Structure 1
Amino acid sequence: MSRRGALGAAGAVAAAAAVTPLAAAVSGDEPAGEENSGSERKERAFPATRAKLADDATRPVSADFPITYVGLGWRGPHRGAQIRFTLPDGRKSDWQRVTAGCAGGREGSAGGAVTALAAAPDATGYELRLPDGVTEVRAMALDTVHGPRRTTKVPAERKRMRGLTYLTRADWGADESLRFLPDGTENTPTAFYPAQVMTVHHTATVNDDPDPAATVRAVYEQHAVANDWGDIGYHFLIDEAGRIYEGRWSGEDALPAHDSDGKLVTAFHTAGYNSGNLGVALLGDFVEREPTAEARASLVALLAVYAAYQGLDPRADVTFVNPVDGVTKDTALLSGHQDWLTTECPGGVLHRDLPALREDVAAATGRMQKRS
Structure 2
Amino acid sequence: MKRRSLLRAAGLAAGAAAVPALGAAAPAAAAQGVRSVRTPRTRAKSVTGAAARAVRADFPVEYVGVSWNGPRRGAGIRLIRQDGSRGEWTALRPVCGAGADGDGTHPAQSVSVLVPAGGAAGYELRLPDGATGVRSTAIDTVNGPSTEVAVAAKARRLGDVEYITRAGWGADESLRFKADGTENTPQTYYPAQTMTVHHTAGANGDLDPAATIRAYYHLHAVANDWGDIGYHFLIDEAGRIYEGRYSGTDGIPAHDTTGKMVTAFHAAGFNSGNLGVALLGTFTDQSPTAAARDSLTLLLAALSAEHGFDPQAAVTFVNPVNGVTRNVQMISGHRDWLTTECPGTTLYGDLPALRADVAAALSGS
Per-residue deviation at 1:29?
Answer: 5.7
Distance (Å, rounded) in 2 between the aligned partners of 1:135 and 1:129: 13
Instruction: Please tell me the residue identity of whatever aligns with 1:198.
Output: M
Indicate if the aligned counterparts of 1:249 and 1:257 stay in contact, CA closer than 8 A: yes
Corresponding residue number in structure 1 for 2:277? 280
Pick from 109, 120, 140 the counterpart of residue 123 of structure 1: 120
Instruction: Please tell me the residue identity of whatever aligns with 1:81.
Output: A
TM-score, length-normalised on structure 1?
A: 0.90
Query: For residues 191-340 of structure 1, what are the structure 2 equivalents within 5 Å?
Result: 191-340=188-337
Instruction: Please tell me the residue identity of whatever aligns with 1:78.
Output: R
Q: After alignment, is 48-57 or 89-98 more displaced? A: 48-57
Instruction: Please tell me the residue identity of whatever aligns with 1:188.
Output: T
Corresponding residue number in structure 2 for 1:51? 44
Corresponding residue number in structure 1 for 2:172? 175
1:86 maps onto 2:80 in alignment: yes
1:106 maps onto 2:83 in alignment: no
Query: Alignment partner of 2:364: what SS?
Result: helix
Indicate if the aligned counterparts of 2:97 and 2:107 stay in contact, CA closer than 8 A: no
Q: After alignment, is 24-33 or 76-85 more displaced? A: 24-33
Corresponding residue number in structure 2 for 1:24? 5
Alpha-carbon displacement from aligned partner over 1:214-254 (angstroms, at most 9, x marks no partner): 00000000000000000000000000000000000001114
Corresponding residue number in structure 2 for 1:346? 343
Alpha-carbon displacement from aligned partner over 1:47-93 (angstroms, at most 9, x marks no partner): 00000001444542100000000001011111111100111122100
Indicate if the aligned counterparts of 1:87 and 1:121 stay in contact, CA closer than 8 A: no
Identity, % of aligned positions: 57
Distance (Å, rounded) in 2 between the aligned partners of 1:138 and 1:273: 24
Given the superposition, is the C-alpha separation of residues 207 and 174 from structure 1 closer, same or farther in structure 2, using an over 3 Å criterion? Answer: same
Given the superposition, is the C-alpha separation of residues 357 and 29 from structure 1 closer, same or farther in structure 2, using an over 3 Å criterion? Answer: closer
Structure 1 runs not aligned, ≥5 long: 1-19
Given the superposition, is the C-alpha separation of residues 230 and 213 from structure 1 closer, same or farther in structure 2, using an over 3 Å criterion? Answer: same
TM-score, length-normalised on structure 2?
A: 0.92
Distance (Å, rounded) in 2 between the aligned partners of 1:318 and 1:59: 43
1:71 maps onto 2:65 in alignment: yes
Per-residue deviation at 1:36?
Answer: 4.1
Given the superposition, is the C-alpha separation of residues 351 and 57 from structure 1 closer, same or farther in structure 2, using an over 3 Å criterion? Answer: farther
Corresponding residue number in structure 1 for 2:147? 150
Given the superposition, is the C-alpha separation of residues 114 and 303 from structure 1 closer, same or farther in structure 2, using an over 3 Å criterion? Answer: same
Instruction: Please tell me the residue identity of whatever aligns with 2:345.
Output: G
Structure 2 runs not aligned, ≥5 long: 8-15
Alpha-carbon displacement from aligned partner over 1:167-197 (angstroms, at most 9, x marks no partner): 0000000000000111111100001100100
Given the superposition, is the C-alpha separation of residues 263 and 87 from structure 1 closer, same or farther in structure 2, using an over 3 Å criterion? Answer: same
Distance (Å, rounded) in 1 between the aligned partners of 2:53 and 2:268: 30
Q: After alignment, is 149-158 or 237-246 more displaced? A: 149-158
Query: For residues 5-24 of structure 1, what are the structure 2 equivalents within 5 Å?
Result: 22=3, 24=5
Indicate if the aligned counterparts of 1:300 and 1:360 stay in contact, CA closer than 8 A: yes
Given the superposition, is the C-alpha separation of residues 234 and 294 from structure 1 closer, same or farther in structure 2, using an over 3 Å criterion? Answer: same
In the TM superposition, structure 1's runs of 4+ consecutive aligned residues that sit over 6 Å from their partners are none
Per-residue deviation at 1:289?
Answer: 1.2
Corresponding residue number in structure 2 for 1:60? 54
Instruction: Please tell me the residue identity of whatever aligns with 1:118.
Output: V
Indicate if the aligned counterparts of 1:35 and 1:161 stay in contact, CA closer than 8 A: no
Q: After alignment, is 285-294 or 26-35 more displaced? A: 26-35
Per-residue deviation at 1:30?
Answer: 8.4
Indicate if the aligned counterparts of 2:310 and 2:330 stay in contact, CA closer than 8 A: yes
RMSD after superposition: 1.9
